[in-house]
Chains A and B, each alone.
Chain A
Amino acid sequence: MKIALTGNPNSGKTTLFNSITGKIEHVGNWPGVTVEKKEGPVKSSLLPKGQSVTVVDLPGAYSMSPYTSEESITRDFVMDESPDVIVNIVDATNISRSLFFTTQLLELGIPVVVALNKSDLNSKKGTIIDSALLSEVLNCPVVDTIATDSRNSGLGDLAEAAVSLKLKKAKQPAPAFSKGIDPNNKEEAEELDKKRYDFVSSVVKRVERRTVSSSSQTGQDKLDRIVAHKWLGLPIFAAVIWVVFSISQSWVGPWLADILVGWIDGFYGLVEGVIGEGTNPVISSLLLDGIIGGVGAVVGFLPLIMVLFFMLALLEDSGYMARVALLMDRYFKKIGLSGKSIIPMIVGTGCAIPGIMATRTIKSERQRRTTAMLTPFMPCGAKLPIIALFAGVFFNDNAWVGTSMYFLAIALIIVSGLVIKMITGDNSVSYFIMELPEYRFPSFKRAAISMMSRAKAFIIKAGTIILVCNALVQLLQTFTWTGQVVPEGNPGASILAAIASPLAWIFIPLGFGIWQFAAAAITGFIAKENVVGTLAVTFSVTNFIDVEELALVADGSQVLSVFGIGSVAALSYLIFNLFTPPCFAAIGSMNSEMESRKWLWGAIGFQLGTGYVMAFLVYQLGTLFTQGTLGSGFVGGLIASALFVGVIVLQISKTRKYDVQRNLKAA
């Protein structure tokens, strides 16, 4: 038996899906989190004996006439795969909006059960919905559910009602107003929609009793006037992100990291003691420095990342991030994007891949491609160890480094969006309509689940891709091209140095023309965590977080001296790694979403150029301000930057010429 979960965006479908299957799919307190269908078996404890049910979580939709690609997924699944029962999740706090879609589902003939979700929020606001009467007028079972409450959720009743409908093999009767109307006839369909709205209004009047009028201003509205305020909104957002970074990168995170690194150190010492001094140094170094040291250096940052994700999940769950989307709409509209583009970017702070996937909710092709191109600029979880490392070593672990990287990313996105708008010549304006979810006290459980999911992913990545890369890097820096072991004190003779050194000169104008940094930047394209792992292996630093030796929090002086670059070059290197193209997997996702080779290669070139020019400016201007002179390789970097800017200007002028010709023809 197959059940389809359908409903408006942010009605709680995925939360309900997780509750009835035990899965941990990503949920968020805003519309558009789910962009594809997901399947899972319903927990046997919720079902009558002997029944087995598969449930399919579908992306949110406002109607059966799809507006975006993920709405098409829902329509196609319901129409083509004919589920046995449709469970329609209706947001009980806003049934007037939700029931339009319900009436369309009722016309399909497939049995429908309405789950009146978030009914706990109604109780708090004193809103009463007569479920029995609603069931009677809709002619289908209606069950009160609270998907976020595992004890009093009504999920058992919901599953029972769905199974019961299937066993009865009953066909869902269509609402009376739609009988005899041909939906394929445009005029009749429009007439049908009017009747649908009238029907929904009459139903709401009959079943809903509100003590607080929807038109009166609530405390939530007052709060919105502050956090989404034209002038106050951005400083508040900056303060929130700063607090998040302070806690995750300067306070709780490093404290936990010290404990974890102590364990990694202990393991390193244990293995070192077991293999003893008699082991071949090449072999022992591969195990100790390449594998344990390299992976340990990356894993050491795990607590910082976990705390950050926990806090971001709390913010998302509270409903605040939806306000951020609204806030950013004002700026994004000016560059030809809309607030809808900010949602993929916020999702991209976890990992760029789901962020890029989330661009599917954007209907305009140009906006979708632009958003997919710009989303990787947001610092994702894989980039956090790089931020944490450089903030800790060069900037005394100051939380402003992480915060400023987020705001620099937003500024870059806005400027880049404007440039892309000028290149494409598309001046179309789109409007962002988003139903703001209600503020709620965030769930620590959901935040913990989200955090653990990310932590698991990070550990698996460290134990696979990072481990293999670090072992390879260790081997490449141990041997020369002739197969000899690199003589002590001459690491430049290694294969790795020979490969990375020719590339290092490209980075001289950026302040880090050292082969180790070049090698780390290259391995970063496989996975961004590799930057930290490769730096650890190539500079022979077993870990970056150790209160005894190479303290991240208080004193990174030893690491600093090993790296051999100044803080300006370090900032430049950080910016280069954050704003150049993302890892290959994310590039693959960009390819899927853009559906255009021209756009993909354009995006990669644009990201590469942006990262290079930004790092060049930071290093050269930073050196000028701090030392009163320009940095090395200025002329070369200026030529490279001018070439990039020249290509952009050429593209813009081509578009303008084309526009002029088109206007003349039209005239």
Chain B
Amino acid sequence: MSVMDMVVVGVILLVISLAVWKIVRDKKRGVKCSGCPDSGKCDCH
């Protein structure tokens, strides 16, 4: 594996990790669907 391969793998892992982190954080906050401005409130009653 070349240095460039490792750099690209690192970038991919970073991007996917950030995306997963955001999804998990949203779930913990009660947002069912990342990005949706309303879905955090759909279990309120």
Q: Which residues of B contact A279 (CB under 8 A)?
A: 2, 4-5, 8
* A464 CA to B26 CA, complexed, in Å: 11
* A453 CA to B38 CA, complexed, in Å: 11
Q: Are A467 and B19 in contact (CB under 8 A)?
A: yes
Q: Are A460 and B35 in contact (CB under 8 A)?
A: yes
The 8 residue pairs across chains A and B that have the minimum distance between CB atoms: A460-B35, A585-B33, A461-B35, A354-B38, A464-B34, A585-B32, A457-B35, A589-B42
Q: Which residues of A contact B33 (CB under 8 A)?
A: 353, 461, 465, 527, 583, 585
Q: Which residues of A contact B41 (CB under 8 A)?
A: 36, 357
Q: Which residues of A contact B19 (CB under 8 A)?
A: 463-465, 467-468
With an 8 A cutoff between CB atoms, is B45 at the interface? yes
Q: Are B12 and A36 in contact (CB under 8 A)?
A: no
* A463 CA to B15 CA, complexed, in Å: 9
* A303 CA to B28 CA, complexed, in Å: 31
With an 8 A cutoff between CB atoms, is A283 at the interface? yes
* A593 CA to B41 CA, complexed, in Å: 12
Q: Are B38 and A467 in contact (CB under 8 A)?
A: no
Q: Are B45 and A464 in contact (CB under 8 A)?
A: no
With an 8 A cutoff between CB atoms, is A559 at the interface? no
| 8 A Cβ contacts from B1-34 to A | 1-2, 4-5, 8-9, 11-12, 15-16, 19-20, 22-23, 26, 32-34
Q: Are B8 and A26 in contact (CB under 8 A)?
A: no
* A and B contact pairs by CB, cutoff 8 A, 15 listed: A36-B41, A73-B45, A275-B4, A291-B15, A351-B36, A351-B38, A356-B42, A357-B42, A464-B22, A467-B15, A467-B16, A468-B19, A468-B23, A588-B32, A588-B43
Interface size on A, residues (CB 8 A): 41
Known contacts A36-B45, A588-B43; 11 additional CB pairs below 8 A are A36-B41, A275-B8, A279-B2, A283-B12, A287-B8, A353-B33, A354-B42, A456-B35, A465-B19, A465-B23, A583-B33
With an 8 A cutoff between CB atoms, is A484 at the interface? no
* A331 CA to B2 CA, complexed, in Å: 66
| 8 A Cβ contacts from A70-112 to B | 73
What is the chain A residue whose CB lies nearest that of B22? A464
List chain B positions with a Cβ less than 8 A from chain A. 1-2, 4-5, 8-9, 11-12, 15-16, 19-20, 22-23, 26, 32-39, 41-45
With an 8 A cutoff between CB atoms, is A278 at the interface? yes
With an 8 A cutoff between CB atoms, is A570 at the interface? no
Q: Which residues of B contact A283 (CB under 8 A)?
A: 5, 8-9, 12
Q: Are A353 and B1 in contact (CB under 8 A)?
A: no
With an 8 A cutoff between CB atoms, is A214 at the interface? no
With an 8 A cutoff between CB atoms, is A651 at the interface? no
What is the chain B residue whose CB lies nearest that of A275? B8
With an 8 A cutoff between CB atoms, is A416 at the interface? no
Q: Which residues of B contact A360 (CB under 8 A)?
A: 45
With an 8 A cutoff between CB atoms, is A286 at the interface? yes
What is the chain B residue whose CB lies nearest that of A73? B45
| Interface flags, A20-57, vs B, CB<8A=1, else 0 | 00000010000000001000000000000000000000
* A459 CA to B8 CA, complexed, in Å: 23
Q: Which residues of A contact B43 (CB under 8 A)?
A: 588, 592
* A77 CA to B27 CA, complexed, in Å: 27
